[in-house]
Structure 1
Amino acid sequence: MRAIVFDQFSVRPQLLDIDAPTAPDAGVVIDVEATGVCRSDHHAWSGHDSTITLPHVPGHELVGRIASAGAAVTGFTVGQRVTVPFVCGCGTCRWCVSGNAQVCPNQTQPGFTHFGSWADQVVIHNADANLVAVPEDLPAAAVVGLGCRFATAFHGLRTRARLAAGETVAVFGCGGVGLSAIIIAHALGAKVVAVDVSDAALASARDLGAAQCVNARDLDPDALSAEVVAQFASTNPDGVDVTVDALGRADTIRAAIGALAPLGRHVQIGLLPDEPVVDVPRVIALELSVLGSHGMAAADYPELVDLVVDGRLRPQDLVTNVIGLDEAPAAMEAMNTPAGAAGMTIIDLAR
């Protein structure tokens, strides 16, 4: 099969022919219809993830059809159209049984723990616990982001931060996951301020539901915090209720926590290459909550899929670029310079 492979970190990947996979006893092989180009893939390629062994195939957001299934798979059939959360649980530990497979200690992740979906086919382990059936008529662009960025933002805002209608939200970073958070927060009835250094990204954020936008260029973290708070100062002078770091930088985390009102909640989604310094005294004094969002368990997908089917959430509005598999190496390298990028790129395996 065709696959994008890298055998050195930060060196341009190659499109190669490699052996097609076989389904494990409890797993499946999926014919990939489309797959996402995500900043997490760039972290893996850059060597920031200790689970990566070389050579490696990236990719963890996907939609496709089951090509073959192991003997122990009972809940899904060959030919069925499916997606999958990027965190696949073991299905039997207490975290999985309680519906929290996203923190399973025995998890597998396509594109990280094993070869991923930037290929004609991908293996998914423990299929009965992790596959999510998707309707035939949903476009691939509406499904791909559900594997990672859209589901992670949904889980972070709805489940972890318990965002309520009428609350204020500041989203730092308007790439794919940041724009996902803006769409979701707006749909939940929140008032959103978007933060980025790119005018194009901020224009996209406004189109997708942000009430206010702040260009962070040339602002230090303290000045940025003040500018974010000022956006809703007439109604929320003490700060915003929820902040989201969708970029993964120490300075944006500092600015986000600095913008929170007392009892505010910070949701950390963006991955960082190094450990940031958090303003713990402020967290203590204002009783702030710092929450992680690491994908979403397959058990929670039916609500999200239903919201997409009925049009209340439109992940497809994030997709600004569709490429073929042969263009994926250049797309990986392009993420070295994220400034100015907005929206989401997906790889159509049929192109």
Structure 2
Amino acid sequence: MRAAVFTGHGEPLEVREIDEPEPDPTGVVVETGACGICRSDWHAWQGDPLWESREFEDGHVFGHEPVGVVVTVGDEVEHVREGDRVAVPFNLGDGTCPSCRDGRSNLCDNRIPLGLAPASPGAFGERFHVPWADFNVVPLPDGVSPVEMAGLGCRFMTSFHALVHEADVTAGDWLAVHGCGGVGLSAVHIADALGANVIAVDLFDEKLEFAAEVGAVETINATEVADVPAEVAAITDGGADVSVDALGIAETCRNSVHSLRKRGQHLQIGLTSSEEGGEVSLPTDLIVAKELQFIGTIGMPRPRYDEIFRMIEHGKLDPAMMVSETVSLDQTSGKLDAMTEFETAGIPVITEF
């Protein structure tokens, strides 16, 4: 089958023929209908801190925002059938550990990050394997296209989990989003659906215009103001109730914390690059003095997808709005490379394999 494969950190992906995946007894093979190209793929491709100890070999396949059709089923799978249309969470849980039993499968003790670990080839190819399929695969609602559901992938559902399950976002709250890539735009759209007043912060007018289209009521171009937190405080009369670092660089993380009013909540969704090395210095005395909360969040528990589906069904959310373009497998490497200089807007999705 064709796949875009890893050839070295920062080196172009190469589209080549590789072996077909085979299901283990609990797994299924899915034919990829669409797959988002995510900044987490970029981080792994670059060898950034979270992945620097993972020794990706030549031929590894990234891709963790897939939608597709089940084509092969393992002997022990009971509830998934060939022909099922499915989405797949990027944090694959075994369904049996304490975290999974507690409804926190995104923190599974034995989790496998699809495409983001050497032992788990991803969906930048025609087909991919999903272990523990009865627990992990998510049946698609009728009438939903693969592109729409690829827009729901890692970035959208991570933002949903952060804002709905981890933070206290209520109608009328001020919420600042620092960084308007795919995860930031998703956070803007979701927070708007929850009734929050959203301020979008970025360096590029194109992304800020996109943010306004999906729900931001105010935008700040960080190249045009001397002090982003002060601008947020001026707009909100004291600071945001909730602030999101959707990028992960030191500047956006610190700006997010400084943007908060007393007892505000900072959500860390963005992951650091090699420059930060996995760590960012923070104003800890300010966090204490203002009783701020710093909350880390990753992915979304598998059992909670239905919450998003219900909001989509009733027109409250539209993940397809985050999809900026559809591309072919051969364009994947170029789209990853464009992320180095933040040249992508929204979520690019592979639809031609």
> TM-score w.r.t. structure 1 length?
0.95
Aligned to 2:86: 82
Amino acid at match of 1:286: K
Q: Does 1:72 align with 2:72?
A: no
Inter-partner Cα distance in structure 2 for 1:169 and 1:204:
17
- Secondary structure of the structure 2 residue equivalent to 1:82: strand
Residue 346 (structure 1) aligned to one of 330, 345, 349: 349
Contact 1:145 1:151 in 2 (8 A): no
Inter-partner Cα distance in structure 1 for 2:55 and 2:41:
11
Q: Does 1:229 align with 2:241?
A: no
Aligned to 1:334: 338
Q: Does 1:248 align with 2:248?
A: yes
Gaps of 5+ in 2: none
Shift of 1:28: 0.9
Aligned to 2:301: 297
Inter-partner Cα distance in structure 2 for 1:278 and 1:3:
41
Inter-partner Cα distance in structure 2 for 1:71 and 1:224:
56
Contact 1:141 1:316 in 2 (8 A): yes
Inter-partner Cα distance in structure 1 for 2:39 and 2:192:
23
- Secondary structure of the structure 2 residue equivalent to 1:64: strand
Inter-partner Cα distance in structure 2 for 1:349 and 1:116:
16
Gaps of 5+ in 1: none
Aligned to 1:143: 149
Shift of 1:51: 3.0
* Cα deviation digits, residues 135-184 of structure 1 (max 9, x gap): 24102222013230000000000100021111110000111110000000
**Which one is further off, 131-140 or 153-162?**
131-140
Aligned to 1:191: 197
Amino acid at match of 2:240: V
Q: Does 1:325 align with 2:329?
A: yes
Inter-partner Cα distance in structure 2 for 1:333 and 1:64:
25
Q: Does 1:270 align with 2:270?
A: yes
Inter-partner Cα distance in structure 2 for 1:13 and 1:37:
13
Structure 1 stretches (4+) deviating beyond 6 angstroms?
none
- Secondary structure of the structure 1 residue equivalent to 2:135: helix
Percent identity (aligned): 39
Residue 54 (structure 2) aligned to one of 46, 51, 55: 51
Contact 2:7 2:14 in 1 (8 A): no
* Cα deviation digits, residues 69-120 of structure 1 (max 9, x gap): 1111112111100001111111100100111011112100111121110000
Shift of 1:289: 0.9
Contact 1:142 1:308 in 2 (8 A): no
Inter-partner Cα distance in structure 1 for 2:352 and 2:33:
6
Contact 2:147 2:351 in 1 (8 A): no
Inter-partner Cα distance in structure 2 for 1:145 and 1:162:
24
Amino acid at match of 2:135: A
Amino acid at match of 1:7: T
Q: Does 1:201 align with 2:203?
A: no
Inter-partner Cα distance in structure 2 for 1:293 and 1:270:
9
Amino acid at match of 1:230: A
Aligned to 1:217: 223
Inter-partner Cα distance in structure 1 for 2:137 and 2:80:
8
Inter-partner Cα distance in structure 1 for 2:27 and 2:252:
39
Shift of 1:219: 4.8
Contact 1:25 1:71 in 2 (8 A): yes
- Secondary structure of the structure 2 residue equivalent to 1:16: strand
